[in-house]
Amino acid sequence: MKIILGPASTELGERISELTNLEKVGVDQRTFPDGESYVRLLGDVQNEHVIIVQTTSAPQDTRIMQLAFIADAAKNNGARKVTAMVPYLAYGRQDKTFLQGENISVETVSAMLNAAGVDALVTVNVHAEDALKKFPFPARNLSAIPILAEYFLKKGYKRAFALAPDKGAMYIAEQAQRILGGEAGHLEKKRDRHTGQTSQTALNINVKGKTVIIFDDIISTGGTIVGAAKILRELGAVRVFAACVHPLLIGDAEKRILDAGVAEIVGTDSVPSHTSKVTLAPLLAKELQAPKSA
C-alpha cells in the first residue's frame, strides 16, 4: 500500500504516511494558463493499492478533477486498487433532489470518480451518510466528532453542553456528549429551499450559566453558528465555542462568528486553515491499519 499526496492535502497525507509507515508518492501538479489542471505521479505504483489523500473543499471542481486525474494516472501506471481518501467530500449537501429538475450532485461526483478508476472511498463526516449507499463503490464515513470533543476535554471543558444547531445534527451532539459527559440538545432550524434563508429557534434546552459547544459538520458562511450563538447568549450561556469538522469559513464567516460572541472556532485539517487545531491524521491512519483496508 502507498499514500499518494494529493495537492489539496499534502500535509495531511505526509502525517498519515508517518503514522502508518506507508511509502508516499508525490504529485507534480500544475495549472495551465487557461485554468486546466495537470498531474503527474512522482513514484512507482505498479501492483500497489494506492490511497489518494485529497480533500475537495474550494476550489472544489478543480480538486475533484485533480483527484480523478490522479486516480486515472494510478490505474494507467499499474495500480491494482485505488482508494480515494477525501476528508471533505464536496457536494455532500446536494444528496437528494429538493426541487424538481435538480440532479443529485454527490452521486454525480461518485460516478465521475468511479469512471476515473476509484475503487473505494473513505470520507469524514459526510453531510448525509445515506448518500454513500448509492455510490458505485464501497464508501466509508468516519466521524471526527469524538476527537474534536477530546480537544475541549483537554482544555478543561468536561461536562460542557454539546449543542447541535439543528435536529439532523443531534447525533453529532450525542457523539460529543459521550466524550464530554455533560448534556446535549439541539436547536430547530428551517431552510427556505428557494432563497436558502434559514431561521433558528430553541425548544426545551436549558443552557443558563453553562459552557456550550456548538458541534456541526460544516461551517460555511457562518450563518448557522451566528444564529445559534445569539440564541445561546439570550438563554444565558456563559461561554460559547464552535466546533466543526470542515471549517470552510467562506468570506468573513470567522469574523462574524467571533463578533457574535463565540470564544473560539475549532476545526480539523480536513480543510486546512488556522482554525484547524485538530488533525484527522490518527483517525485516517487507523482506518488504513484496520485489516479490512489491507
Catalytic residues: 189
Total binding residues toward ligand R5P, as defined by CB under 6 A: 12
Rounded distance between C-alpha atoms, residue 256 and residue 69, angstroms: 37
CB of 28 to ligand R5P, least distance (A): 34
Rounded distance between C-alpha atoms, residue 270 and residue 86, angstroms: 8
CB of 14 to ligand R5P, least distance (A): 29
Establish if 219 lies at the interface with ligand R5P (CB under 6 A). yes
Looking at 17-25, 33-41, 144-152, 214-222, which segment touches ligand R5P (CB under 6 A)? 214-222
Contacts of 230 (CB under 8 A, 6+ apart): 260, 261
Strand 265-268 relative to strand 239-247, pairing? parallel
CA–CA distances in Å: residue 173 to residues 36, 56, 177, 225, 243: 41, 25, 6, 14, 11
Quick one: which of 117, 222, 267, 272 contacts ligand R5P (CB under 6 A)? Answer: 222
Rounded distance between C-alpha atoms, residue 206 and residue 139, angstroms: 38
The 153-192 contact track toward ligand R5P, x by CB under 6 A, reads ------------xx--x-----------------------
Looking at 13-21, 23-31, 49-57, 221-229, which segment touches ligand R5P (CB under 6 A)? 221-229
Contacts of 111 (CB under 8 A, 6+ apart): 136
Maximum separation of any 2 CA atoms in the chain, in Å: 60
Looking at 27-35, 115-123, 176-184, 215-223, which segment touches ligand R5P (CB under 6 A)? 215-223
Establish if 86 lies at the interface with ligand R5P (CB under 6 A). no
Establish if 217 lies at the interface with ligand R5P (CB under 6 A). yes
Establish if 247 lies at the interface with ligand R5P (CB under 6 A). no
Q: Which is nearer to ligand R5P, 114 or 198 (by Cβ)?
A: 198
Burial of 56 (0-12, 13-18, 19+ CB in 10 A): buried
The footprint of ligand R5P (CB under 6 A) covers 165-166, 169, 216-224
